Amino acid sequence: MAHVSDFLAPAELQKISNLQVVARLVVEGFFSGLHKSPHKGFSVEFAQHRQYVQGDEIRRLDWKVFGKTDRFYIREFDEETNLRATLLLDLSGSMDYAGDGHPSKQQYATRLAAALAYLMLQQRDSVGLVTFDSMVRRFIPQRSGVGHLRALMDELHSAKPGGETALASVFRELVPRIHRRGLLIILSDCFGEVKDLVTALAQFRHARHEILLFQILDRDELTFPFKRWTKFDSLEVADQFRLIEPAQFRAAYLDNLKKFQHELVAGCRRHRIDLVPMVTDQPYADALATYLTKRLSRG
């Protein structure tokens, strides 16, 4: 029997070229794998009736209709939300890294962004998109509707990783441009000076935005599995590389990574920012589940 994770494996979805199809499969596959609706507790409006079947909740019976027809009918509802969300997609050069058999961090982040946009627009939320590297590349304001989904998908499809990382300066630039407070969903490896990054994120929080930060890494970056002499090319500075013997650097690298992650976690906790580590070999369902859980907890 197929499990939802079978439909959400990054390596399988990477084979699909149509980004909107990927987004739909991720979202529909995710919901088909749930035993309990994640929408419970949302504000809703009445949509239609349907005939009662065994197992339906009695509290949802429409007794007025029963009085007129002598039949049991259930009241169904559509979600009516006022969420305003902006997706911030990191397209700096470091996002172009891909371990063997895995999508690059940029490919993973783009598909995750597409799935989140699809999900939120299906729920009648307003969604915007910012792509950036050392500067803002594209700023699409928050809107809703099917036409807007196409605009977001087209932009995500054309997004390619490039320049250097400048997370802090980009975020400081965006603070006055995202006028209405809402949910900011950041998709990035977060590489850079942690202190500057956390300070910039704190400015978003001061503007009363909620922040959901998906830190997307490749498994290689977490384990440093290299064993032979290896050429490491810079993904952000052209023609810059180093040829090293990995055993000499592994301990120092992993120690620096541990310190980096500790500072990032502490900074996010201090400013009440939801930090979600993701690895490119993990199902997208993990990220969607986190998003929905955080959203429901705010309700």
- What does the DSSP assignment read for 105-149? HHHHHHHHHHHHHHHHHHTT-EEEEEEESSSEEEEEEEE-SHHHH
Q: Decide if 130 contacts 140 (C-beta within 8 A).
A: yes
CA torsion through residues 213, 216, 219, 222, sign: negative
pLDDT of residue 62: 75
Q: In the chain, how many domains are there?
A: 2
Nearest residue to 25 (alpha-carbon basis) of 84, 94, 111? 111
Question: Scanning the structure block, which residue is given the tokens 């400015």?
Answer: 203
Q: Check whether residue 75 and residue 92 sit in a common domain.
A: no
Are 122 and 194 members of one domain?
yes
Digit-coded pLDDT (tens) for 35-51? 444 343 334 444 566 67
Let me know whether 99 and 210 are in one domain: yes
Residues 58 and 129 in one domain: no
CA distances from 161 to 41, 191, 207, 241 (A): 39, 14, 29, 18
For residue range 154-203, what is the model confidence (pLDDT) as tens digits? 999 998 888 777 899 999 999 999 988 899 999 999 998 999 999 999 99
The CATH number linked to 16 is: 3.40.50.410
Neighbours of 196 (CB within 10 A): 15
Biggest alpha carbon–alpha carbon distance for the chain: 81
225-276 residue pLDDT tens: 877 655 555 555 555 556 666 777 788 888 999 999 999 999 999 999 999 9
Between vectors from CA 16 to CA 14 and to CA 19, what angle results, nearest 5°?
95
Q: Cα angle vertex 241, ends 222, 102, to 5°?
A: 40
Q: Note whether 180 and 235 are same-domain residues.
A: yes
Q: Are 75 and 86 part of one and the same domain?
A: no
Residues 121 and 242 in one domain: yes
Same-domain check for residues 211 and 253 = yes
Q: Are residues 140 and 171 in the same domain?
A: yes
**137 and 227 share one domain:** yes
Provide the whole-model pTM. Answer: 0.78
277 phi/psi in degrees, rounded to 5: -70, 135
**Mean pLDDT score of the chain, rounded to an integer?**
81
Of 94, 163, 97, the residue nearest 134 (C-alpha)? 163
Q: Which of 2-11, 26-35, 37-46, 223-232 has the lowest mean pLDDT?
A: 37-46
CA dist 104 and 110 (Å) reads: 10
What's the pLDDT band for 217 if we cut at 50, 70, 90? very high
Domain housing 55:
44-79
Same domain, 290 and 201: yes
Let me know whether 91 and 205 are in one domain: yes
- Dihedral over alpha carbons 76, 77, 78, 80 (to 10 degrees): 180
